Structure 1
Amino acid sequence: MEFVIKISQFLLSLSLLIVLHELGHFIPAKLFKTKVEKFYLFFDVKYSLFKKKIGETVYGIGWLPLGGYVKIAGMIDESMDKEQLNQPPQPWEFRSKPAWQRLIIMLGGVTVNFILAWVIYVFMSGYYGDTAIATNSIKDGYLIQNEAILETGLRTGDEILSVNGETYENLTDLTYSFLTAEEIQIRRDGVEQTITFPEDFAGRLSDSKKEDGPLLKLRSPFYVSYAIDTLHNAEANIKKGDLIVGINDKELKYFDEFEPVLMANKNQTVNAKILRDGNTIDVPLKIDSEGTLGIMPGGSLNIFEELGYLKITRKEYTFSESFGAGTDKFIKEFKKYGEQLKLIFTPKTGAYKGVGGFKAIFDIFSDRWVWESFWTITAFLSIMLGVLNLLPIPALDGGHVMFLLYEMVSGRKPSEKFLERAQIVGFFILIALVLFANGNDIFKAITR
């Protein structure tokens, strides 16, 4: 069932992005009276799952979910329709239109992608508002378990003061800043110090195992969810909502502090300090041979906030305020993706190791259907699709735009033979990139 939910979100998001992107090409083409022969969701290699001709355009759904396309008459595209191009230009063809009209048609797809992302951020700001964990509420540092972070010298309990000299108000922005971190200022045991990140940290991060988890985890208390009824403390005086705050004479504030104490007292009965309804009581608990209590920890961010372990900031926006907030989010996410591309195209950072294909995109969707998460991911993917399509690679929108700008500046139109060859080169570049990205997914799945 979890797989069905994930694949449903993946396909819905992908379909929405593809259809709207291609619609961005379709609408200006029709406005400029350019013939559109096909409008397809997914690729129809050899056959289609569905197709229907309405007017001069065949609308359909292909079987290969690697993208979609509109086939515009008189345009050198992935169809490589040479027969049509060998005929004299017709007034309804793309190649017969003025350069400025062709430019608008080619920029239509990415324009729609950026508008879609902006609209999603605006509506999410108005409907959900902003919720974040305030970094200044984290008093005793973070739980560090990710191997790539541990290799830098950061340790659990370190208080992070700044990254590259900048401070961050919420945990999300702080965590993201680690991707481009060069120096991190921390306070450990009351002493401030600087940790220098390796130049290839992004690459090391992409090599870390999935079970390593987030870069920064919140330190939480030992909040009792329940005692496992088949294990050694099933009959102990333990209730849901209890906080275990000490073992024997040792006070323990965070769950991560328990492991060494429990391991040191294996196969013993200890006196546990339990905080219940504002009172501290003593409860004898058994520790088994593996150093565990057989008690399931739990709790939520809201509970931990009530207990004073963190503070959640919440901000709501009026209808008019949501436009400004949504625009700010769009700009921030656009810049973030630009930074990621810069890292990827800088080999010494090793960030290219983190490039993923369709499985990587599939994996970011939740196995529970949460609309806020779905729209957040879809907005980011829309930005990603728009930016990638602007890359100056023949066969992408950016390649067509590059040649059109050359034509508009120089006054000379590249020959159709040149454009045809450029399209072939661009096609092979795209195939290589797709193979590399999806090959990375396969390599990670095997090695991890």
Structure 2
Amino acid sequence: MEIIIKLSQFLLSLSLLIILHELGHFIPAKLFKTRVEKFYLFFDVKFSLFKKKIGETVYGIGWLPLGGYVKIAGMIDESMDKEQMAQPQQPWEFRSKPAWQRLIIMLGGVTVNFILAFIIYIGMAFAFGETYIANADLKDGLLIENPAMIKAGFQTGDKILAVDGVQIAKFDNDINMKIAMGKEVLIERNGAQQSIKLPNDFIDQLSTKSEKIPVVSIRMPFVIGAVSDESTNKNLQAKDIVLSLNGQKTKYFDEAKTILDSNKGKTISAVVLRDQKETPIQLNVNKEGKLGVQLGGLGMDSLEKLGYYKVSTQDFGFLESIPVGIEKGKNQLIGYGKQLKMIFSPSTGAYKQVGGFAAIYNIFPSTWSWEVFWNITALLSIMLGVMNLLPIPALDGGHVMFLLYEIVSGKKPSDKFLENAQMVGFVLLITLLLFANGNDIYKAIVGR
């Protein structure tokens, strides 16, 4: 069932993005009376799962879910229809239209991608509001478990004050990415401030054998999820919260783990919170420093009631949601631009983390959440828009590059030049596709 849920979200998001991107080309083409011969979701190599001709356009669904396309008459694209291009120009063809109209048609797809992302973020702000913990309320600092963070000099209990000079006001889902993309982090440790400079290949280190461990996370109490059949601590119950071990307070699990590790093979005293009452018990610590239990968790509401954190929730009216959503979209766009810059800088090692379709599939959760789904879809829409703007022939950005040259110089590149450029771009795209998906396979094999 989990696979079905992840796959459903992946295909729904991908289909939505492809259809809207291609509509961004389709609509201005029709407005400028340019003939669109095909409109396809996914690629129809050799055959289609579905197709139907309406007017002059064949609408269909291909079997290869690697993207989609619109085939515009008189345009040199991935179809490489040389036979059509050898015929005399027709007034309904792309090549017959003024350069400014062709530019609008080519920019339509990425424009829709960016607009879609901002609309989603505005809608999310209105529908879900914003839930966060004020950074100032993290009195005991954060949990640091990622090996790359520890190697860089961070410790559990550190408070993150700023990244690259920008103050961190809220602990939310963006803080991990801000640190990963940062160069210098200002922290507070034991009441004193200090700066930690991150290594140039920090983002590569984060993803090496520890990519599933958060960069930072909030410290959680020691909650009993279940007691195993082999455990000798049958006096423990599910939902117990361990308050002290061996006479030492254990507000957080990381504190309890340290005490258990120093008392391997011993019987120690403990106090647990059970049914809102403090209950003293004796616990047997095995030779591995374990109690024979599974960890449980608490929701943010429960953590707030127990006095661990103050959770802030801010709701927005429709008009208030607009600047909030725009700011979120702007930050994501800038953040992805920084990621691309790092990917094209070999010394950072970020290129090793480039992923293909498996990587995209894996970012979707195994449980359905509309909030998570729309958040991922908005980010993917930004990624699709930025990637398509790269000045690579065969991408929208390549076509835009040649059109801008034509507008500025007044000279149109020859069809032969555009055909050769398209072939070069196609080879580049195939290479990038093989590299990205090859990275997925490599990570699956070596467990990275």
TM-score range, shorter chain: over 0.9
* 1:189-227 deviations in Å (ceiling 9; x for gaps): 33332222111111222323344x110021111133443
Q: Given that residues 345 and 352 in structure 1 are in contact (C-alpha distance below 8 angstroms), is that contact kept between their aligned partners in structure 2? A: yes
Secondary structure at the residue paired with 2:233?
coil
Secondary structure at the residue paired with 2:270?
strand
* 1:359-418 deviations in Å (ceiling 9; x for gaps): 110010000011110000001101111111111111000111111111111111111111
Which residue in the other structure is 2:174 paired with?
Answer: 173
Alignment of 1:285-324 (within 5 A): 285-298=283-296, 299-324=298-323
Alignment of 1:40-189 (within 5 A): 40-171=40-171, 172-189=173-190
Counterparts of 1:329 and 1:59, CA distance in 2: 35
Which residue in the other structure is 1:282 paired with?
Answer: 280
Structure 1 residue 248: Cα displacement: 2.1
Structure 1 residue 421: Cα displacement: 0.6
Q: Given that residues 180 and 215 in structure 2 are in contact (C-alpha distance below 8 angstroms), is that contact kept between their aligned partners in structure 1? A: no
Q: Given that residues 160 and 168 in structure 2 are in contact (C-alpha distance below 8 angstroms), is that contact kept between their aligned partners in structure 1? A: no
Q: Given that residues 137 and 309 in structure 1 are in contact (C-alpha distance below 8 angstroms), is that contact kept between their aligned partners in structure 2? A: no
Which residue in the other structure is 1:361 paired with?
Answer: 360
Q: Given that residues 203 and 350 in structure 1 are in contact (C-alpha distance below 8 angstroms), is that contact kept between their aligned partners in structure 2? A: yes
Which residue in the other structure is 1:191 paired with?
Answer: 192
Q: Given that residues 134 and 310 in structure 1 are in contact (C-alpha distance below 8 angstroms), is that contact kept between their aligned partners in structure 2? A: no
Structure 1 residue 241: Cα displacement: 4.3
* 1:21-75 deviations in Å (ceiling 9; x for gaps): 1111111111111111111111111111111111111111111111000000000
Structure 1 residue 229: Cα displacement: 5.2
Structure 1 residue 303: Cα displacement: 1.4
Structure 1 residue 253: Cα displacement: 1.7
The one-letter code of the counterpart of 1:285 is: L
Alpha-carbon spacing, 1:5–1:277, altered in 2? closer, same or farther (3 Å): closer
Which residue in the other structure is 1:209 paired with?
Answer: 210
Which residue in the other structure is 2:400 paired with?
Answer: 401
* 1:288-345 deviations in Å (ceiling 9; x for gaps): 3332223333222221122222222211111221222211111111111111111111
Counterparts of 1:340 and 1:79, CA distance in 2: 31
Counterparts of 2:129 and 2:280, CA distance in 1: 43
Counterparts of 1:405 and 1:256, CA distance in 2: 58
Structure 1 residue 135: Cα displacement: 1.6
Counterparts of 1:335 and 1:79, CA distance in 2: 33
**1:259 pairs with one of 257, 260, 265:** 257
Which residue in the other structure is 2:440 paired with?
Answer: 441
Counterparts of 1:339 and 1:131, CA distance in 2: 26
Alpha-carbon spacing, 1:54–1:45, altered in 2? closer, same or farther (3 Å): same
Unaligned runs of 5+ in 1: none
Secondary structure at the residue paired with 1:177?
helix
Q: TM-score, normalised by structure 2?
A: 0.95
Q: Given that residues 407 and 413 in structure 1 are in contact (C-alpha distance below 8 angstroms), is that contact kept between their aligned partners in structure 2? A: yes
Counterparts of 1:185 and 1:24, CA distance in 2: 43
Alignment of 1:226-241 (within 5 A): 226-228=226-228, 231-234=231-234, 236=235, 238-241=236-239
Counterparts of 2:368 and 2:81, CA distance in 1: 42
Counterparts of 1:319 and 1:164, CA distance in 2: 33
Alignment of 1:329-368 (within 5 A): 329-368=328-367
Q: Given that residues 125 and 326 in structure 1 are in contact (C-alpha distance below 8 angstroms), is that contact kept between their aligned partners in structure 2? A: yes
Structure 1 residue 160: Cα displacement: 2.1
Counterparts of 1:441 and 1:224, CA distance in 2: 36
Secondary structure at the residue paired with 1:313?
strand
Counterparts of 2:118 and 2:182, CA distance in 1: 28
The percentage of aligned residue pairs carrying the same residue is 59
* 1:224-261 deviations in Å (ceiling 9; x for gaps): 34434552122x1x455432121122222211112232
Number of residue pairs matched by the alignment? 445
Secondary structure at the residue paired with 1:408?
helix
Q: Given that residues 43 and 66 in structure 1 are in contact (C-alpha distance below 8 angstroms), is that contact kept between their aligned partners in structure 2? A: yes
Secondary structure at the residue paired with 1:271?
strand
Which residue in the other structure is 1:247 paired with?
Answer: 245
Q: TM-score, normalised by structure 1?
A: 0.95
Counterparts of 2:217 and 2:125, CA distance in 1: 26
Unaligned runs of 5+ in 2: none
Deviates more, 1:219-228 or 1:79-88: 219-228
Q: Given that residues 133 and 170 in structure 2 are in contact (C-alpha distance below 8 angstroms), is that contact kept between their aligned partners in structure 1? A: yes
> RMSD of the TM alignment (CA)?
1.6
Secondary structure at the residue paired with 1:244?
strand
Secondary structure at the residue paired with 1:151?
helix
Q: Given that residues 19 and 68 in structure 2 are in contact (C-alpha distance below 8 angstroms), is that contact kept between their aligned partners in structure 1? A: yes
Which residue in the other structure is 2:11 paired with?
Answer: 11
